[in-house]
Structure formats: C-alpha cells, structure tokens
Structure 1
Amino acid sequence: MMLGLKDLILCLLQLVLFLPGLRASWDEWWTYDGISGPEFWGLINPNWNMCERGRRQSPINIEPDKLVYDPHLRHIHIDKHKISGTLHNTGQSVIFKVEKGTKHHVNITGGPLVYKYRFEDLYIHFGEANDQGSEHQINGAPFHRGCIQLYGYNADLYRNMSEARLGSNGIVGLSIMIQVGENGNDDVGILASGFQKVIYRGQKWPIKHLSLAGLLPTTHHYMTYDGSTTHPGCWETTTWLIMNKPVYITKQQLYALRLLMQGDQATPKAKMANNFRPAKPLHHRTVRTNIDFTNAHRSKGCPTMHREMFYAARQWPKL
C-alpha cells in the first residue's frame, strides 16, 4: 500500500526525531510552516490529535451577519493590579509568563464566564506584512498587524493550566487586536521594551509592573464562542472572547517585533513573523455577542472601531 504524503512526511519526521543524538521534544519542533506546521500538528504527536480531529477548533472566521445577540452577556473584568513576569522567545512565539509563586494573581471574570479564571500567559501573533497577523478573522480577513492573546485557567475547579486544559470549562482565551498608532498603548509599550532583548530563541527578559487590564481596549463589546487553544495540543476546553476594538502599537515597536527570529543566536533560521494558525471550520457553533445591532445602536449605527480602525463588528470595509 502506498503511503500518502502526510504519512510519508510523518515517518520522516519521526525518524529524524529519534536518531541518536537528535532526541528532542515535539514541544520544540513544531512551527507555523512547512512539515512541522499547523497541518501536521495533530499527526506528529499523539497527544495533539485534537489539532487534526477536533471539530471545535480555533481560530475561526467570524461572519458578522451570523452573530447572535445575547443580552445576558456581562462586561469583562480583569483585575487591575500590576504583575511581573518574564518575556520568552520560544522560537514559535513571544510569550509573557507570569512570575512563578506570585501572590498577586490576576483573575478574569464576567462576560460569559461563570467561573474565575487565573491569568497564566500571554501570546503575541503577528505578520510580516501589514495585511496579516491576527489569528481570528472577520469576514475572511485577518486584522492587520496582529493580536495579543491572554490565557487563563479555571482556578475554581483546577489547580493549574496543565490540569485545566484537559477539563470542562478549563481555559479562557481573550483576543485583543493590534493596530499601529502614533501613541501606542502604555502596557503594550512595557511588553515591547523587551523585544530587542529576546531576538533569538531561548532568550528571556524580565517584565515588571504590567497591567493586563491596561491592555484592554476602551470598549465593553466583544464576541464569544467555544473553541480551542490555537497552539498544540489544540485543547477544546477554551472559551474565547474577542474584543471589538484594538489596542495600539507604534511603528517602532512593530518593527522591533518583526525582528524576532525562530532560531538561536548561532542558528537564527527564519523570522518569527507569520506565527498564526489558519482559521478552522465553525462546524455549526454559535458565536454570541453583547452588541445589540437591532435596538440600542440602530439610531447611532453599528458600534464600530471608530474612523481609524479597520473592522467593525458589523462589517469589514474594503481596503
């Protein structure tokens, strides 16, 4: 029997992985392109089979005319106190992880959430060009520049993220779109201050006094649905919240972000940019919103991201 292309590539990858002297973890091997990219995540590691077989995967393309207004959705709340942690270049993404052993946890509550979710880490996804970057899409188009994703685990039911990602209602993912502006967001600036310190894989830089609440855009409007983490193992225990306005990054900060590399200093490899997973099928899931298109906003028009933004909850203007 002839092997299919995917099977053949999988065999080659496994042979390489287990060659003497080259043993490594799949956590280090996966990428966003090529034979270790998103199309193969669910094949190269049995623990990631949801990446291949799951039917509640993320990110998704949001179709505004199919959004369901839910008047019971509350405002999202993130604790306002500041935290410290470490900025990491993992090769796949630039990640901020909260300081281990911290006594000042930041909790995410409200919205569609009925439990308290404790912030764990933050991922930044971005594109090499200005017409790509975010993982979630609106009307088939990504948001320009990129997105910041906050992940938290259900602290009411689980002890940590590793336990929560395998359990019901385990994870919350909050997506904030990034846009370029002359005056960047102050807390985006705190993260950006470390970009030049983590250019290569494995490099780390301490980040102090970061306000996650300060990363939120000035809106209470969002969209929400049940999905998965957008990185391996694509655990389908994630409630997603997608904010309806972006936060701002300066041109200089975006330039520094795009200098990040996938490899270490000795072997830089390719640039990290374009580290986003393609949109996955919705498979009849409902995407809810707290934006009332038919009543409160009829006289004022749909709540948009204002004149300097590229997408509105109701439409995506042609560029």
Structure 2
Amino acid sequence: MHIVWEIFLIFQAYFICTSAQLISPKIHDGWWAYKDAVQGSFVPVPSFWGLVNSAWNLCAMGKRQSPVNVETSHMIFDPFLTPLRLNTGGRSKMGGTMYNTGRHVSLRPDKAHLVNISGGPLGYSHRLEEIRLHFGSEDGQGSEHLLNGQSFPAEISESPNVFLNRMLNRDTITRITYKHDAFLLMGLNIADLYPDTTRFITYEGSMTIPPCFETATWILMNKPVYVTQMQMHSLRLLSQNEPYKIFLSMSDNTRPAQPLLQRCIRTNINFSKQGRDCPNNRALRPQYRVNQWLLK
C-alpha cells in the first residue's frame, strides 16, 4: 500500500512511502504526459490516461481518485488522529540522488539511510521512498490539490526552506537540467523539510500518475514551506526532454483535481475550539491563509 505525504508549497513535494515490496518503476514509465508535446506526435494527457491503456482504467473509472479540491467547510474533525512521527534511526543526516525523470524532480534516499514515517492515519510504520516536486509555469498554478478551489504555486519568502535550499540551489539544480540527468546529494536532514506543525488533513485516494492505483493515503500538512523566486525560475528551466531534443519545460506537471464523490476528508484541526482559554488556538487555524493574496 502506498502512503503519500504531501506538503503544499510553491510547488508540491510529496513523499511516497510503502511498507511492502516496491512496485517496479517500469510500470510508470509508459506512454503518458501531463501536457501536449510540441513534437507533433500524440502522447496521452490526463484526460486520456484511462482510455488508451486498459491497465490504467482506474484513471477514468476509479471512485477514489486524486488529487481533489479540499473544501475546508466539509472537513470532519477526528480527535483520534495523532501527530506524525519521523524516525531516522538515530541519524540526523541522509544522502540521496536527485533525478530529472522527464516528468518530475525526484529525490530518492540512499537505501543505507532509512527514514520511517508513522502516526496520524497510518496503521503501520512506512519507509520514505521518494520525494517528487510539482510546480507551475507561472504564479497562478502548480499544486495538484486545491484548497477551497485555490491552487498554491507561489508563496515567496526571504526565509526559504533549508532542505529545499540544498535541492534547488544553482550548483545542484543545473546538474539535472535534462531528462535522465542525476546528481548525488549528501548531508540532508529530512526533518528540515517537515513544516513546524502537527496539524494535517487526510483522505483516502490514489496515485496521481498512471495507472492511478487507489492505494494512497494522502496527508496534507497544515503549513506551507517556502522557496525563492530565483529557485522557481531555476525549476522552470528544467527540460522534460533529452538535450538533443527541443526544450520543453517540466513545469505544469500536475494532474487536474478529481471528484471527491462519497469520501470523507478528516483533519486533526479542531475549528470549533476557540477563545483565549485555548493555548493552541493559533495552531488550530488553517495556516494557508498566508496565501490569501492570490485570491485578490
């Protein structure tokens, strides 16, 4: 079973974790794309994923597909949702390899440095397998999940995330400009990526790439992390093609929101707990109000 831990930020970064044997990555290396190619040949975009391959029929027929639009007014408070726990086995630092897969910026941890995630809606401890980045071509799109209909592509700060600084500084990101490029990073502290909050939103859904298996538990943290405008610019200069092919930016690598249908979205944010007598009152509020300027 795949567990997905997503953090809203300028782009999306999500962690794919599993407690079972990994599915071969070749199953996801098929003939699909996020957007129309410029070479003139047809490659199926999200609206066609479930139609061109019978093994991907969940992309079109599934009832628990992701991403979704999270309506905060419809969320259910669940007091039994405990905080997430991050276990690095006593090691504060880890290594990993960054890849340009042609569709995502991917960071895959060194197998010698295990990172386990438990708590929250998770019944077992799950191992971190991959961090993927999604981002938009402009400051009006970029995240796969929506919050009250609003995307979260670009919240700029002068204090960007320490972990993402290592991934997105110019000396690093330029090493993976083209598809199949890879670069080894060492001395990463995964705790630096984790936002300073115990509050989250969770629901049962699917992977957002073919074959769209409905085996994912999504955990959306209730606080954004930040990157700089220059780092966003560097991401948009990454190509989804090899160097000998025409440049096509990797940006807008997102699947559109899917119907929620009969699913529940749970949260450990208690909106009804208000007043001065609550010492955690500030932490209980939705932290994505920092993005309200995007609505103007």
**TM-score, with structure 2 as normaliser:** 0.80
Summarize the Cα distance change of 1:285–1:267 in structure 2 as closer, same or farther, 3 Å threshold: same
Report the CA distance between 1:306 and its aligned residue: 7.3
Paired amino acid for 1:282? L
SS at structure 1 position matched to 2:80? coil
Summarize the Cα distance change of 1:317–1:33 in structure 2 as closer, same or farther, 3 Å threshold: closer
Alignment correspondent of 2:20:
none
Report the CA distance between 1:233 and its aligned residue: 1.5
Q: Distance in 2 between matches of 1:53 and 1:208?
A: 42
Report the CA distance between 1:141 and its aligned residue: 1.3
Alignment correspondent of 2:193:
215
Cα deviation 1:245-284 (Å, max 9, x = unaligned) = 1111112211111111111101043111100100000011
RMSD (Å) for aligned C-alpha atoms: 2.2
Matched, 1:185 2:196: no
Paired amino acid for 1:186? V
Alignment correspondent of 2:212:
234
Matched, 1:79 2:87: yes
Paired amino acid for 1:33? K
Alignment correspondent of 2:12:
none
Q: Distance in 2 between matches of 1:37 and 1:60?
A: 18
Paired amino acid for 2:273? N
1:253-264 superposed matches below 5 A:
253-264=231-242
Matched, 1:115 2:124: yes
Alignment correspondent of 1:55:
63
Alignment correspondent of 1:279:
257
Q: Distance in 2 between matches of 1:306 and 1:272?
A: 26
Report the CA distance between 1:48 and its aligned residue: 1.9
- 8 Å Cα contact 2:95-2:113 kept in structure 1: no
- 8 Å Cα contact 1:262-1:268 kept in structure 2: no
Q: Distance in 1 between matches of 2:267 and 2:163?
A: 26
Q: Distance in 2 between matches of 1:140 and 1:110?
A: 28
Report the CA distance between 1:304 and its aligned residue: 3.5
Q: Distance in 1 between matches of 2:56 and 2:173?
A: 30
Report the CA distance between 1:29 and its aligned residue: 3.0
Q: 1:139 aligns with which of 131, 148, 162?
A: 148
Alignment correspondent of 2:53:
45
SS at structure 1 position matched to 2:134? strand
Summarize the Cα distance change of 1:98–1:47 in structure 2 as closer, same or farther, 3 Å threshold: farther
Matched, 1:310 2:288: no
Deviates more, 1:51-60 or 1:72-81: 72-81
**TM-score, with structure 1 as normaliser:** 0.75
Paired amino acid for 1:182? E
Any gaps of 5 or more consecutive residues in structure 1?
1-23, 146-178
Paired amino acid for 2:217? T
Report the CA distance between 1:208 and its aligned residue: 1.3
Paired amino acid for 1:57? Q
Q: 2:31 aligns with which of 18, 29, 36?
A: 29
- 8 Å Cα contact 2:100-2:181 kept in structure 1: yes
Quick one: percent identity of the two aligned structures? 39
SS at structure 1 position matched to 2:55? helix
Cα deviation 1:173-214 (Å, max 9, x = unaligned) = xxxxxx321121110111113221111111111121222221
SS at structure 2 position matched to 1:226? strand
Q: Distance in 2 between matches of 1:260 and 1:119?
A: 25
SS at structure 1 position matched to 2:285? coil
